[in-house]
Amino acid sequence: MKILTLASVILAAITLGACSMRPDVTVYQPEGPKLELATFFAGKTTAHGLVKDWRGKVIRRFNATIEGTFDQAGKGTLAEVFYWSDGEVQTRTWQVWPTGQDAHGNRTFAGTAGDVVGQATGKASGNALNWRYTLAINMGTPSAPKPLNLHLDDWMYLLPDNKLLNITDMRKFGIKVGEIVIFIQPAKK
């Protein structure tokens, strides 16, 4: 009986692990157009997105503006303002910078923001960029905060006509608890 229980636990762990596997960004190396973080986000971009719960139900919608400034070395600031459909306005300011290349030749990045726990790490190849970080989300009220740290696996894909699709898995204890889908494009001038 103990062997059967142990086998069931191992099988469940393997199944859960397989469900959370994502490809390495290297597989997108031949894909174009090439996503250059500092080029795409320089200036003003607009975003339209939604948040889904673990069942796939849309629970929040938003529009956002992102103002990006970068120096010659690719170090920059992304000032985001989110306008949620329920009237909430939220801001986040990222500091991002290139950190070199990994063993596969992928461009690597790091970033910080006020509600990011520690540092975000990113890899870019071809038309894709993958950010991984822990985001502290307030599940309470401003006067009675209830912090919840979620692990985000954030994938950006540059599409033709200079448009970006961003899909983010949100996980807690390795279990998917939600998803964010965002469409980003340069602001109309």
Residue 28 buriedness (CB in 10 A; 0-12 / 13-18 / 19+): buried
What mean pLDDT do residues 88-97 have? Answer: 96
Per-residue pLDDT tens over the stretch 161-173: 999 999 999 999 9
Between vectors from CA 182 to CA 21 and to CA 149, what angle results, nearest 5°?
Answer: 60
Torsion of CA 157, 158, 164, 169, to 10 degrees: 10
Direct distance between the N- and C-terminal alpha carbons of the chain, in angstroms, rounded to an integer: 69
Whether residue 75 contacts residue 94, with contact meaning beta carbons closer than 8 Å, is answered with no
pLDDT of residue 189 exceeding 90, the answer is no
pLDDT interval class at 12 (50, 70, 90): very low
pLDDT of residue 145: 77
C-alpha span between 176 and 16 (Å, rounded): 10
pLDDT grade for 10, boundaries at 50, 70 and 90: very low
Q: Three-state DSSP class for 72? A: coil
Instruction: Say how far apart CA 19 and CA 137 lie, in whole Å.
Output: 24
Alpha carbon dihedral 31, 185, 93, 135, in 10-degree steps, equals -60
CATH number of this structure's domain 2-186: 2.40.128.20
CA distance 65 to 57: 24
What does the pLDDT look like over 113-142, one tens digit per residue? 999 999 999 999 999 999 999 999 887 777
pLDDT value for 14? 43
pLDDT tens digits along 70-83: 999 999 999 999 99
Domain boundaries, the chain: 2-186
pTM for the whole thing?
Answer: 0.84
